């Protein structure tokens, strides 16, 4: 069982099986999925406005040409970010409850064939689970693990990765156990 801060975020028992739902994804998922792209877009638009004003007042054609590509770049980055939507993920016995871009889905751990624990040096750190076959339209599940660092502290060390590493290791062990051939006696 994954232990630690998860007990505080455990949801009520699943009515059908009496199993506790344990949140695996970070509480910061909503921010990175919904708010962060708009903040980045606002900063880009403000920067483009400042550069356009400077280019227009200087009457520099090269600056104006560069400014013309900033909105296009912003749209491409935004669409790429939305294509990598983060999911909310809960562990429920031998399955994952996933609230993703296609809605709610229950993904059996046995259908996960590859887990990428993400890089320690990217923010937000994401974990990607690739599935053997699509489950309710999902081919992969991407989430920000509980306990992963969301900010760099003033000393530039990234805090919280130990908890995320433990979560990923435990999830890998659970998937391996579910995928192992069942021997009958």
d(CA 35, CA 29): 10
Query: For residue 97, what are its two tokens?
Result: 């409850």
pLDDT (tens digit, 9 = 90+) per residue, 130-182? 999 988 888 889 888 887 755 544 444 555 455 677 888 899 999 999 988 76
Average pLDDT, the chain: 75
pLDDT (tens digit, 9 = 90+) per residue, 12-37? 455 455 668 899 998 888 887 878 77
pLDDT (tens digit, 9 = 90+) per residue, 75-104? 777 666 665 678 899 999 889 999 987 789
Query: For residue 96, what are its two tokens?
Result: 């994952």
Confidence of residue 111 (pLDDT cuts 50, 70, 90): very high
- Nearest residue to 6 (alpha-carbon basis) of 126, 130, 90: 90
d(CA 120, CA 30): 20
d(CA 51, CA 112): 47
Tell me if 29 sits within 8 A of 84, measured CB to CB: no
d(CA 27, CA 23): 9
| Core vs surface per residue 148-182: b (16+ CB within 10 A) or e | bbbeeeeeeebebbebbbebbebbeebbeeeeeee
Asked whether residue 1 carries a pLDDT value surpassing 80, the answer given is no
Bridge partners (DSSP) listed for residue 97: 90, 106
For the chain, domain boundaries = 6-25+86-179, 31-83
Asked whether residue 9 carries a pLDDT value surpassing 50, the answer given is no
The beta strands (E) that lie in 51-164 are given as 88-92, 95-100, 103-108, 112-116, 127-135, 138-143
Other CB atoms within a 10 A radius of the CB of residue 82 amount to: 11
Query: For residue 56, what are its two tokens?
Result: 């227009």
Query: For residue 118, what are its two tokens?
Result: 């993400």
CATH 2.40.160 matches 6-25+86-179:
no
């Amino acid at each position: 069982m994954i232990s630690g801060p998860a007990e505080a975020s455990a949801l009520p028992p699943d009515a059908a099986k009496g199993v506790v739902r344990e949140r695996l994804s970070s509480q910061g998922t909503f921010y990175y999925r919904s708010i962060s792209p708009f903040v980045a877009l606002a900063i880009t638009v403000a920067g483009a406005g400042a550069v356009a004003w400077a280019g227009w007042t200087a009457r520099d054609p090269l600056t104006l040409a560069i400014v013309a590509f900033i909105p296009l770049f912003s749209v491409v980055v935004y669409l790429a970010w939305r294509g990598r939507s983060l999911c909310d993920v809960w562990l429920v016995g031998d399955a994952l409850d996933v609230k993703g871009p296609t809605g709610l889905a229950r993904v059996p751990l046995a259908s996960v064939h590859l887990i990428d624990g993400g890089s320690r040096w990217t923010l937000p750190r994401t974990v990607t689970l690739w599935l053997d076959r699509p489950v309710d339209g999902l081919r992969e599940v991407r989430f920000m693990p509980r306990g992963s660092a969301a900010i760099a502290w003033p000393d530039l060390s990234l805090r919280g990765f130990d908890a995320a590493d433990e979560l990923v290791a435990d999830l890998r062990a659970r998937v391996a156990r579910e995928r192992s051939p069942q021997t009958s006696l």
